[in-house]
Amino acid sequence: MTYYENGLLRARWASWRDARAGRTAQANARWGWIKAPGERGPILWMQSFSDADQQRLGIELAKAIAEKRRDLRMVMTFETEYPALLKQHTESAERLGYGFGPCDHPQAVGRVLERLSPLRYLALGRTPRPRLAAALGWGKIPAVLMAADPGSQIPAPLEAVYPRDTRQAGAWAGRGITEAVQEPVDFATLFTIAQVDPNFRAMISGTDEGLLWWAQGLSAAQWAGWRQAWAASALSRRGLLFLGGTDAPADLPRLSVWQRTSLPAGAVVAVDDDRWYPALSAAAQAVHLQTASPMLQWQVYAGSRPISVSPGVTLNAAEQLDADTILALEDPAQILDHWQALRGDVMVARQRGDATRRIFWQERRHAGERLPEFLQRVFDW
C-alpha cells in the first residue's frame, strides 16, 4: 500500500494490509518506527518520496557528503521502493541507511523526529507534507529543499532551496520566497553517463551501420499503435525499434534478457531495464519521449541524438532550446515519418543532436561548480 497522507484510518488500514502481505518494515516505518544507521554522529534525514530519480539523487548526494563530512549519518526514506536501483547504486555509499518512511499523521511524524533528532532535513523532489512541515518548525529543524516545487505549506526554518531550473525558481518567487532560493542547478547531470562504449549498435543489429530507433514512455494502450505503424514503415526493412513503457506485450523480446546476439531487421524490442538507457541514447538514430523524467532526458541529451517529445512533456533547459531543436509529435506514424526524413538529412539530425548535448555539458559543468558550495553548507552544519 502506498498511502502516506495524514488520515488515521486509511494509514492504519494500509499498514494492516502491508503487515498481512509480509511487508512489516513498510508497515512499521509508516508509523515512524525508523532506526538510524550506526551509533554515533548527527543525522541528516533525506526524504525522496516516490520518485526513482530523486532516490538516485539522494544516493549520489550521500556519497559526496560522506567524503566531506565524516561524522554525519544519513537516513534516506521513501514511499516507493526500487530494489534494483538501491542494489546497484548503494554498494559504495558509506553511513547511509535507507528504507520506507512515515505517513503524515502527527503521531508518525513526531515519532520519527524523536527517534532521529535530525540535524537537518533534506527534501528531494517535493516539499514535505503539511504535518511534517509544521513539526519541523516546532522542532526548529532547518529544512533544505532540492528540485522541489513550492507546496501547500513551506517548512520553517527554511535554510535553502535548490531549484532544478528557472521554471521552478520562478514558482518560488511567485510565492514570495526569494532569500533562501539558490541559483537553479540540476545535480543529476553529474551522474548521467556521458561516455558510452559504442559496441551496442553493432552487437544487436549485426553491423555498425544498423539503424536503431527508440521511443520511451508508452502507456499500455499505445503499444499496438506503435507496432502497427512500425510494420507499415519503410524503416522496419533495415532497422530495429526499441519501445519502453508500462505493460509491454508478452510476445516481445526483452532487452533485460538479451543474449548479446544480433536481432533480425524489423524486430521490436521491449526496453525493460533502465541500465540500457545510456547505450540506447548513444546508439539510436533518433529518440521519441512519450513521457520522460528529467534524469532520462539528460541521458538522451548526452547521447547527442535528435529528439522529439509528445505534447505536454516538460523539457529540461527549455529556455535554452531553439524552437526546432526538439519537435512535439504524438502519432506513431507521424513520428516514424519524421525519423525517415531525418535519415535522409544527416546534417539536420547531427545539428539537433549536437544542440542538446551542448546544453547537457553546460548544465553539467555548472552543477560541478555548484556542488562544492552545497557540500560546504553541509560541512558548516
This prediction's pTM: 0.92
Transcribe 296-346 into DSSP letters: HHHHHHHTT--EEE-TT---TTGGGS-TTTEEE---HHHHHHHHHHHHH-H
Phi, psi of 279 (to 5 degrees): -65, -40
The answer to whether 2 and 50 are in contact (CB under 8 A) is yes
Q: What 3-state DSSP class applies to 17?
A: helix
**Local confidence pLDDT in tens for the 381 residues of the chain:** 689 999 999 999 999 999 999 999 999 999 999 998 887 899 999 999 999 999 999 999 999 999 999 999 999 999 999 999 999 999 888 899 999 999 999 999 999 999 999 999 999 999 999 999 999 999 999 999 999 999 888 999 999 999 999 999 999 999 999 999 999 999 999 999 998 877 899 999 887 778 999 999 999 999 999 999 999 999 999 999 999 999 999 999 999 999 999 999 999 999 999 999 999 999 999 999 999 999 999 999 999 999 999 999 999 998 899 888 999 999 999 999 999 999 999 999 999 999 999 999 999 999 999 999 999 999 999
Return phi, psi of residue 44, to 5°: -105, 120
Using alpha carbons only, what angle is made at residue 293 by residues 299 and 291, rounded to the nearest 5 degrees? 105
Q: What residues contact 359, with CB distance under 8 A and at least 6 apart?
A: 301, 316, 317, 320, 321
Type of residue at 205: S
